[in-house]
Chain A
Amino acid sequence: MRVTVIDYKAGNLTSVLKTLRHLGAETVVTDGDLSLVDSAERIVLPGVGHFAATERLDKTGLTGAIRSAIARGVPFLGICVGMQWLYAGSTEAPQQPGLGHFPESCTRFAESPEKVPHVGWNSLDVRAKSKLLAGVEPGEFVYFTHSYKGPVTADTAAITQYIEPFAAAVERGNVMGVQFHPEKSGDTGLKILRNFLTWRAKGAGC
């Protein structure tokens, strides 16, 4: 199974690539070669850093190519800022639009006595219908590091509580996102990535 990993030059892909390969995936990386998106079997968009860096996806044409791939039913997973990019935008960079697959916007955690960024291992309250998080049980933890987050909506696949409840994962059909880092979340993270790698559309056979 092949995974096209999107590189928008805002961080290090080593951990994500290493983990996907560990799970038996063949990985190809693109920072602008749209043919690798057009022919993609699965797409992963890892992301760290500032939301503004996603501008590169627009400039390279990757945004349009990813939109088409998603419309074709290609399974897509956004990680961290890669998940936030699936929304309409983020208050971190108001001038920079996201993909808009989910109509809401990401916002910074509210002012509170708790620290922002939210860094460390936190638990997931998984919604039953999630395919991405199938088999994740209460009491399992995943690793987060972020200051902005998506809102809880009908598309939320898992809720995490920190300062306020937020979307730890989002999922609608073939489009999935996780705010946490599955590649850094031990056996639980490996299980989630394995779910993504074996995800099949309804009626797609096998």
Chain B
Amino acid sequence: MLTKRIIACLDVHAGRVVKGVQFVDLVDAGDPATQAARHAREGADEIVLLDITATHEGRQTLLDTVRRTARELFVPFCVGGGIRSAQDAEQVFEAGADKVSINSAALTDPALISAIGASFGAQAVVVAIDARRDPDAADPVRDAQVYVQGGRRPIGRTVVEWAREAEQRGAGEILLTSMDSDGTRAGFDCELTAAVSEAVGIPVIASGGAGTVAHFADVFARGKADAALAASIFHFGVSTSRSLKEELAQAGVPVRLRC
């Protein structure tokens, strides 16, 4: 049986894992390679490394980090942050990533999705979408808006429509972050996740708002998510992937327990 994936997310700044709420008050949380290996050992189904520096000067540091992290990692490894061109993506793949996550660069240049897919396969292209409900719309969920700049600026497109276009252009997966829920630890936006998951035929990874095991069970059931991203829930020692998955299994969610 196909299992629901728990994806451990590492936010990386200048070659170090950092933790903080919505990229504020960053605290050093260790070495990315060590942390990624630990997560894989503890049962994470996949690792996402998000470079929150994403500056030109930081590119070489990122590639070194990706190389070191990939070396002893034998689960899928996705890298995002600052990938603006097919060349950027190629460097990250050559450093050992299996997938790249692209966000605002795909909005600026949607052809980037197919350009990366043509060289590396659709399975290697994750389109990340930062979303907020539109409280003024008749249907705040169906009309949820795509945001850029860390959730500060709407670009005037609905999330569902952009997710569909990304799929049609050859995205392999959608990483959907609810900016309303992000950092709240009050649960994923299940309605929004379900709206996107039902609109596309590719897997949707839910992100933003994880605080308890029940939140994950909820986003898999009501939210129809194929995978869920976990970041701070691990950093703050709430749970390891293994304990999270053991509890999910007890709740009837299909998960991979043996690694």
Q: A interface vs B, CB < 8 Å?
A: 10-12, 14-15, 18-19, 22, 48-50, 115-123, 139-141, 143, 145-146, 161-162, 181, 183-190
Contact B203 A119 (CB under 8 A): yes
- Chain B residues closer than 8 Å to A141, beta-carbon distance: 3, 256, 258
Contact A115 B1 (CB under 8 A): no
Instruction: Tell me if B60 is interfacial: C-beta within 8 Å of chain A.
Output: no
The residues in B between 53 and 108 inclusive whose CB is less than 8 angstroms from any CB of A are 70-72, 74-76, 93-96, 98
Contact B121 A49 (CB under 8 A): yes
Instruction: Tell me if B189 is interfacial: C-beta within 8 Å of chain A.
Output: no
Bound Cα distance from A185 to B45, whole angstroms:
9
Instruction: Tell me if B226 is interfacial: C-beta within 8 Å of chain A.
Output: yes
Contact A162 B259 (CB under 8 A): no
Contact A11 B172 (CB under 8 A): no
Task: Name 5 A/B residue pairs within 8 A (Cβ), A-sorted.
Answer: A11-B121, A11-B124, A49-B120, A49-B121, A184-B74
Beta-carbon nearest neighbor of B257 in chain A = A139
Bound Cα distance from A35 to B172, whole angstroms:
36
Bound Cα distance from A175 to B259, whole angstroms:
27
Contact B258 A139 (CB under 8 A): yes
- Chain B residues closer than 8 Å to A145, beta-carbon distance: 123, 172
- Chain B residues closer than 8 Å to A11, beta-carbon distance: 119-121, 124
Given A14-B70, A184-B74, A187-B259; A119-B226 close (CB under 8 Å): yes
Contact B226 A115 (CB under 8 A): yes
Q: How large is the interface on B (under 10, 10 to 19, 20 to 34, 35 or more residues)?
A: 35 or more
**Residue in A11, A12, A122, A141 whose Cβ sees the most chain B Cβ within 10 Å:** A12
Contact A12 B120 (CB under 8 A): yes
Instruction: Tell me if B202 is interfacial: C-beta within 8 Å of chain A.
Output: yes
**Residue in B76, B96, B119, B202 whose Cβ sees the most chain A Cβ within 10 Å:** B76
Instruction: Tell me if B20 is interfacial: C-beta within 8 Å of chain A.
Output: no
Bound Cα distance from A121 to B226, whole angstroms:
11
Contact A120 B1 (CB under 8 A): no
**Residue in A14, A118, A121, A123 whose Cβ sees the most chain B Cβ within 10 Å:** A121
Contact B3 A122 (CB under 8 A): yes
How many whole Å from B95's CB to the nearest CB in chain A? 8
Given A12-B93, A12-B94, A120-B227; A48-B121 close (CB under 8 Å): yes
Contact B94 A120 (CB under 8 A): no
- Chain B residues closer than 8 Å to A48, beta-carbon distance: 120-121, 123-124
What are the nearest 7 A-B pairs in CB distance? A48-B121, A49-B121, A145-B123, A141-B256, A12-B93, A121-B256, A119-B203
Bound Cα distance from A146 to B172, whole angstroms:
10
- Chain A residues closer than 8 Å to B122, beta-carbon distance: 49, 117
How many whole Å from B111's CB to the nearest CB in chain A? 18
How many whole Å from A189's CB to the nearest CB in chain B? 6
| Proximity string of chain B (172-203) to chain A, C-beta cutoff 8 Å, 1 when within and 0 when not | 11000000000000000000000000000111
